[in-house]
Amino acid sequence: MAPIADDENDASMSPAGLNPWCLLSGVLAVVIVGLAGLVFGPASIGVWDVLVELADRLPLVDTESGLGDTRTAIVWEIRLPRVVLGLLVGAMLATAGGAYQGVFRNPLADPYLLGVAAGAGFGATVAIASGFGDGIGMLDPVPMFAFVGALVAVVTTYLVGSTRGSQDRIISLVLAGVAVASFFTALQTFVQQRQSETIRQVYFFVLGQLRTAGWDEVKLLAPYTVVCILVILAARRRIDVLSVGDDEAGALGLDVRRVRLVLVIAASLGTAAAVSVSGLIGFVGIIVPHAVRLLFGSSYRVILPLSVLFGGSFLVAADLFARMALEPAEMPIGVITAFLGAPFFVIVLRTSRNSK
């Protein structure tokens, strides 16, 4: 909405909103990091060749990249799915984290607040420990079990935490999340101890990894991510209303419980889907929305759309680092997100304090 011009000479209104430059910087980040993800790797492939190869797949465009069959396959079947998966997981975790921070009015809220991580960890451990870990036929059971575990944990938290009678619903939900998470972590540890030979596999799940086998994971995750992110983005104005507290938000005409429920469902479902494919990648959901807030403004109308873009590009960058740093070995991406994210966040925190 353009600022309203003014007949007298006082200020014209410029409400919080996404300014085109912020949006452009987010899109640029995605494009640059995405390209880097396609170019860098054990087999060297030039930027130009990648661009030509991508253009070739556009309708009505016919070009020849000069990449052989092997390299074309590396771009299309190995690197691109991994980049897209990183974009989806990063965007989902960052957006869900931002939504949780708004809904619970708690800057420390992350997508795992209501027990998603513990539930997914338990589910994955059960799948691995019961020997399904290597896959039965086509279906990899680990994501399925992790997804179900995550949802069971969140639903339990919500049912336990939102019972009638408690005065402060936010606090009781968060506390229920703590209790449920500890419970599922205890279950996970129990199962893991009984099957100690699986510890290594479970450990990898806990640290997170963007593993792809072609486009299967992307196809699995994309519908959840797209729908959940769209729902959260559509409600971004409502999250700004929640920032004045439940009472005033109610007096302003917001059905607080319904909005909170819709957002918690969208954020938890999306997170559960992301976690089931990628394992427990920490830090993205907390650091990206905060960095966006410090750099571009505190309205959720700004934070959420930019978290989609910067969350995705941050995770792709972290993944690039994870597979390049100790080549040919691969580091768990959760280590990188914290290792890169923490210092970056400190810099943002300090510079934005200085500028105010």
Partner 1 sequence: MTGIICHGVFVTFGDFKALRGVDLIVPPGGWFAVVGPNGAGKSTLLRAIGGLVAASGRIDLGDHPVAGMPRRELARMVALVTQDPVIPPGMKVVDYVLLGRTAHLGFFESEKRSDFIAVEKALRDLDAMQLVNRAVDSLSGGERQRIVIARALAQESRVLLLDEPTTALDVGYQQEMLELVDRLRAERNLTVLATMHDLTLAGQYADWLVMLNAGEVVVSGCAGEVLTEEVVDRYYGAKVKVISDNSGPIVVPVRRDGT
Q: Which residues bind partner 1 (CB under 8 A)?
A: 1, 4, 8, 10-16, 234-235, 237-238, 240-241, 243-245, 247-255, 297-299
Residues linked to residue 139 through DSSP beta bridges, in sequence order: 136
In the bound complex, what is the minimum distance in angstroms from residue 110's beta carbon to partner 1?
A: 20
In the bound complex, what is the minimum distance in angstroms from residue 154's beta carbon to partner 1?
A: 22
In the complex with partner 1, which residue's Cβ is closer, 19 or 298? 298
In the complex with partner 1, which residue's Cβ is closer, 8 or 197? 8
In the bound complex, what is the minimum distance in angstroms from residue 308's beta carbon to partner 1?
A: 17
In the bound complex, what is the minimum distance in angstroms from residue 255's beta carbon to partner 1?
A: 5
Give the distance from CA 240 to its chain's centroid. Answer: 21
In the bound complex, what is the minimum distance in angstroms from residue 60's beta carbon to partner 1?
A: 35
In the complex with partner 1, which residue's Cβ is closer, 18 or 94? 18
In the complex with partner 1, which residue's Cβ is closer, 234 or 325? 234
Q: How far apart are CA 162 and CA 168, in angstroms?
A: 9
Using H for helix, E for strand and C for coil, what is the string for the chain?
A: CCCCCCCCCCCCCCCCCCCHHHHHHHHHHHHHHHHHHHHCCCCCCCHHHHHHHHHHCCCCCCCCCCCCHHHHHHHHHHHHHHHHHHHHHHHHHHHHHHHHHHHCCCCCCCCCCCCHHHHHHHHHHHHHHCCHHHCECCECHHHHHHHHHHHHHHHHHHHHHCCCCCCCHHHHHHHHHHHHHHHHHHHHHHHHHHCHHHHHHHHHHHHCCCCCCCCHHHHHHHHHHHHHHHHHHHCHHHHHHHCCCHHHHHHCCCCHHHHHHHHHHHHHHHHHHHHHHHCCCCCHHHHHHHHHHHHHCCCHHHHHHHHHHHHHHHHHHHHHHHHHCCCCCCCCHHHHHHHHHHHHHHHHHHHHHHHC
In the complex with partner 1, which residue's Cβ is closer, 133 or 289? 289
In the bound complex, what is the minimum distance in angstroms from residue 164's beta carbon to partner 1?
A: 11
324: number of Cβ within 10 Å: 14
In the complex with partner 1, which residue's Cβ is closer, 248 or 327? 248
In the bound complex, what is the minimum distance in angstroms from residue 128's beta carbon to partner 1?
A: 41
In the bound complex, what is the minimum distance in angstroms from residue 313's beta carbon to partner 1?
A: 25
In the complex with partner 1, which residue's Cβ is closer, 263 or 335? 263
In the complex with partner 1, which residue's Cβ is closer, 180 or 235? 235
